[in-house]
Amino acid sequence: MGYDVYITRKENWFDDGPEISLHEWKTFIDTDDEMRLDGYAEAKLPGGNVLRVDSDSLVVWTAYRGTTAGGNMAWFDFRSGNVVVKNPDVAILIKMWQIAQKLGARVQGDDCEIYGSDGSIVAS
* % the chain with pLDDT above 90: 77
Checking if the pLDDT of 16 tops 90, the result is yes
- d(C-alpha 88, C-alpha 108), whole Å: 12
**Mean pLDDT taken over the chain:** 93
Query: Domain total for the chain?
Result: 1
Checking if the pLDDT of 59 tops 70, the result is yes
Q: How wide is the angle at C-alpha 83 spanned by C-alphas 80 and 84, nearest 5°? A: 95
Contact 38, 58 (CB under 8 A): yes
- Please report the pLDDT score of residue 69 as a whole number: 62
The values of phi and psi at residue 15, to 5°, are -75, 165
Q: In terms of residue numbers, what domain contains 100?
A: 4-123
Question: 9-24 burial by CB neighbour count: b if 16+ within 10 A, else e?
Answer: bbeebeeeeeebeeeb
- Please report the pLDDT score of residue 43 as a whole number: 79
pLDDT tens string 61-120: 999 987 766 567 899 999 999 999 999 999 999 999 999 999 999 999 999 999 999 999
Q: How far is CA 113 from CA 28, 30, 108, in A?
A: 24, 29, 5
Mapping DSSP to helix (H, G, I), strand (E, B) and coil, where does residue 86 land? Answer: strand
